[in-house]
Chains A and B, each alone.
Chain A
Amino acid sequence: MSELLDFQDAFVAALDGAPEGLSPWLGPDAGLAGLTVYRNTIAKGCVDALAANFPTVLSMVGEEWFRAAAALFAREAPPASAALQGYGEAFPAWLGRFPPAEALPYLAGVAHLDRLWTEALFAAEAPTLSAEALAGLAPQALAEGRLALHPSVRFAAFEAGLPSLWSAARAGETELDLPARAEALLCRRRDGVVAHRVIGEAETEFLRACRDGQPLAQAAERAALADPDVSVASLFAALIADGVFGGLNLETAR
């Protein structure tokens, strides 16, 4: 092993609270105050990144609670990349296991929705399929076509109304309640802005079918099965208006 790597192993151990290994590189009168400066800077970098990526969690638990929890998470799961806008993929699940969050059982779900929103913000650019592009198609061709989701589309379903709670918190409301009904959230970036709305089971099934590469007819069938009362035509029109689709593949062979 090289001396440089030996030093870096010792330095990282010292950051983690075990400075003994660093002594070969420290002068006799070297205090460890400098080490604290580095430790604080690293912690601030991680915590600031998590605060930017999970703003709804932050708004619900407050600055002090959030920064303390985020600092603990960062020590267990430091960033894997210097591109910190992607940091925190494991944070929602970690919050779900974090004992002080036991009184806030919805927190992991809120973090999960923040994550979807952030992913939508930084996803690839791609054209959006318009209603006009579909207008001239024969019904049979359309039914057999496969709709591709826009790269920024993210959605997740929950057994309770977390999406409504998250949306209210995101809008700055402080009186939050958790509806008992099952809900899903749909995020999609359009013109540089992430739009989100709460969707029901029929829309969720429709989107899942598209994600799975199934033809439109099958997506419509899954939506109708999920909610027999829903108008699939208007559901489809609303999703097109949302700009959820990136393209339509008319080749029938799989």
Chain B
Amino acid sequence: MTPTAGLGLKSQHYDDAVACDAAGLWFEVHPENYMSAGGPRLAALEAVRARHPLSLHGVGLSLAADANPDRQHLAALKALVDRFEPFVVSEHLAWSTHRGAHQPDLLPFPRSRAALVRIADNIGRTQDALARRVLIENPSLYLPLKGHDLDEVDFLKALVAATGCGLLVDVNNVFVSARNLGYSAEAYVDALPAEAIGEIHLAGHGLDEGGSGLLIDTHGAPVAEPVWALYRRLVRRVGPRPTLIERDDDIPAFQVLMAERDRAASELAALEAVGV
């Protein structure tokens, strides 16, 4: 079965996920949540994996840190890759670990040429350790920084060229970052290299409750209509790609998420029909 549209797997939906037999359905998890010696979470993931394709989407490798990826973390990730045989492994263009402390967020950095070399090296080390290609996701951004030698799309293209990695395009992150930092989301998605894109993310965002006017990538709401429009624009150009609905906060019933997932599946099916 070819994975079409998938869902981020939440622990409250394990049984629903095992029972669901929608065509093309796949699931994605953060491997960090399964980095334990044993326990029921791993058993539940085995049950889901026995029925559906799985993607491992890392949030903790800190590829944009000025340090090699943590060896223990890589070993734990490799063990999960070997055990669950995911069809995709992905990580973020961001850092979270700094001098031994882990900040549970995906933090920004100046996209300098020196940073490019460092991050390409980290992606190369990761791919070597896992013995497979990884996809790199564009982050959501909140702070305008100086010191960029390359814009984000050119930086991602350079990483693809240097390491052979692929891209995970988070369309909601494109929308949020473009709005927060004041550039064109359409121009961004139009510039992405089609052949490198291996997966697409869709999620909901919200306006900062602190009153800053910033849009925040909350994963706490349905996908917004302008994000659907941006998604359609992207897939009509590049063709169908496995597409994930992410929801991590204010999580509704499984069927509610499946309805959003089915909408993504319909968008993909419509592409096939017109031969994109």
Contact = CB atoms under 8 A, between A and B. Distances in A.
Contacts of B112: 3-4
A27 B144 contact: yes
Given A37-B214, A38-B142, A8 B98 contact: yes
A72 to B, nearest CB: 15
A82 B66 contact: no
B202 to A, nearest CB: 20
Interface in B204-235: 208, 210, 212-214, 216
A12 B38 CA distance: 33
Q: Which 8 A-B pairs have the closest CB atoms?
A: A82-B60, A45-B104, A34-B143, A33-B212, A34-B142, A192-B40, A122-B36, A124-B37
Interface in A6-54: 7-9, 11-12, 15, 24-27, 29-38, 40-42, 45-46, 49
B110 A83 contact: no
Interface of A: 2-5, 7-9, 11-12, 15, 24-27, 29-38, 40-42, 45-46, 49, 78-86, 121-126, 151-152, 189, 192-193
Given A2-B118, A42-B104, A45-B104, A81 B210 contact: no
Contacts, number: 155
B151 to A, nearest CB: 15
A37 B107 contact: no
Contacts of A85: 33, 35-36
Contact of B102 (A9, A79, A126, A192): A79
B114 interface: yes
Contacts of A8: 65-66, 95, 98, 107, 109
B147 A2 contact: no
B160 interface: no
A38 B97 contact: no
A26 B142 CA distance: 12
A12 B95 CA distance: 11
A9 B39 CA distance: 37
B73 A81 contact: yes
Given A3-B112, A34-B143, A34-B180, A49 B37 contact: no
Contacts of B61: 82
Interface of B: 32-33, 35-41, 43, 59-62, 64-66, 72-73, 76, 95-105, 107, 109-110, 112, 114-115, 118, 141-147, 180, 208, 210, 212-214, 216
19 contacts: A3-B114, A8-B66, A8-B98, A25-B110, A26-B145, A32-B143, A33-B210, A34-B142, A37-B142, A37-B208, A40-B210, A79-B101, A81-B35, A82-B61, A83-B32, A122-B36, A122-B37, A122-B39, A193-B40
Given A83-B60, A193-B40, 11 more contacts: A4-B115, A4-B118, A8-B65, A25-B145, A30-B144, A34-B141, A36-B210, A41-B104, A85-B35, A86-B36, A151-B37
B98 A84 contact: no
Given A27-B144, A78-B101, A125-B38, A38 B107 contact: yes
Given A4-B66, A27-B146, A38-B107, A82 B32 contact: yes
Contact of B39 (A11, A82, A192): A192
Contacts of A151: 37-38
Contacts of A4: 64-66, 109-110, 112, 114-115, 118
Contact of A37 (B60, B102, B115, B212): B212
Given A83-B35, A123-B37, A193-B40, A37 B216 contact: yes
A38 B37 contact: no
A30 B36 CA distance: 41
B9 to A, nearest CB: 16
Most buried by B among A4, A11, A82, A192: A82
B73 A35 contact: no
A53 to B, nearest CB: 12
A3 B149 CA distance: 13
Most buried by B among A7, A84, A121: A7
Contacts of A84: 32-33, 104
A45 B59 CA distance: 12
Contact of A25 (B72, B147, B180): B147
B144 A82 contact: no
A235 to B, nearest CB: 27
B145 A81 contact: no
A2 B117 CA distance: 12
A36 B138 CA distance: 21
A46 to B, nearest CB: 6
Contacts of B72: 81
A79 B32 contact: no
Nearest to B115: A4
A151 B39 CA distance: 11
Given A12-B98, A33-B210, A34-B144, A78 B40 contact: no
